[in-house]
Amino acid sequence: MGWLGPSSGQIILSVATPVAVALVLFGLEARGPLAPMLQKPLGLVAGYFTSVAILFGLMSALLMNDVWQKDNAARQSVQAEDDALRALFQLARINALPDLNPLFKAYATTAAQENPWSRAAPHARQKTDRAYEAIVSGVSQAHGLESGTRTFILSTAVDMRRARDRRLYVADDETVGIKWLSMIVLGALTQIAILLVHTGERTAIRVSVSLFTVAFTFCLLIVAIFDTPFEMTLANEPGRTFNQTLEEFQGTP
């Protein structure tokens, strides 16, 4: 849903759309040109409502599953990158390679600023790329390392880079606009279907449409919040995790 703008705008739209549709339906039923027809029992069966609601439920489940997996992938990528970074610090300590620690710290410092919603983000990725290249160069040129140990350290650095690539992919990923639009359209059609099923029963219309509007809004809010995990649920990541790691290894030369 990145095509709609920041999550704040998505949240406003998620609340406004179902409520607006419900208010329009209430207005049409009460005073609109269709009011006389909608206030008379037309004999519509609930099966019409059920079929549309099932389609809305399937689309909601699809989108919620997508954004839920995106949030989990974001958390896992940050944790995997941090685990690899910690391993590099430990390997440098075990193998008495203090010259490598400043390189690891430089990487962690720049990577911590790579949150796409951070002001420092535009240049942070380039700086992190250079910091990673410096790590590879430093490990390759380190003296007194056995070939097996050097290979293991480089392999750990590659794991860190791979986790970072996954993190950046998730941060840049956007839900396809047609999915979001389909959810809105099917939700609005379900609201209309509920109205038609309860024609002639004003209280039932207001109660049932209102309840579904709340559920409709909730579904849209969940999708809006978890679609951009590094703006909402993980707004402080990866900075918080990497900064904690830096604090733990602050005394390391």
Instruction: Tell me whether residue 149 is in a domain.
Output: yes
d(CA 50, CA 70): 30
122-159 confidence digits (pLDDT tens): 788 899 999 999 999 999 998 888 889 999 999 999 99
Which of these ranges, 88-102, 108-122, 153-167, 178-192, has the smallest mean pLDDT?
A: 108-122
Other C-beta atoms within 10 Å of 253: how many?
A: 9
Which residue range(s) make up the domain with 211? 2-248
Provide the pLDDT for residue 224.
85
Q: Is the pLDDT of residue 96 over 80?
A: yes
- How far apart CA 65 and CA 229 sit, in angstroms, is 14
Tokens 């790579």 — which residue? 114
Count up the domains in the chain and report the number. Answer: 1
Instruction: Say if residue 59's pLDDT is above 50.
Output: yes
More confident residue, 36 or 239: 239
pLDDT tens digit sequence for 180-203: 888 899 999 998 888 887 777 778
pLDDT in tens, 5-54: 446 677 787 888 888 888 887 777 777 665 666 666 665 555 566 788 88
Residue 109 lies in a domain: yes
Higher pLDDT, 165 or 181: 165
Residue 253 lies in a domain: no
pLDDT number for residue 206: 85
Residue 130: inside a domain: yes
Q: Is residue 41 part of a domain?
A: yes
What is the Cα–Cα distance from 156 to 176, expressed in whole angstroms?
Answer: 34
Residues 6+ away with beta carbon under 8 Å from 38: 28, 29, 195, 196, 199, 200
Q: Is residue 117 part of a domain?
A: yes
Of 226, 222, 137, 230, the residue nearest 187 (C-alpha): 222
pLDDT value, residue 114: 87
Whole-angstrom distance, CA of residue 45 vs CA of residue 49: 8
pLDDT of residue 115: 78
What pLDDT sits at residue 75? 95
Question: What is the C-alpha separation between 20 and 118, in angstroms, rounded?
Answer: 33
Residue 113 lies in a domain: yes
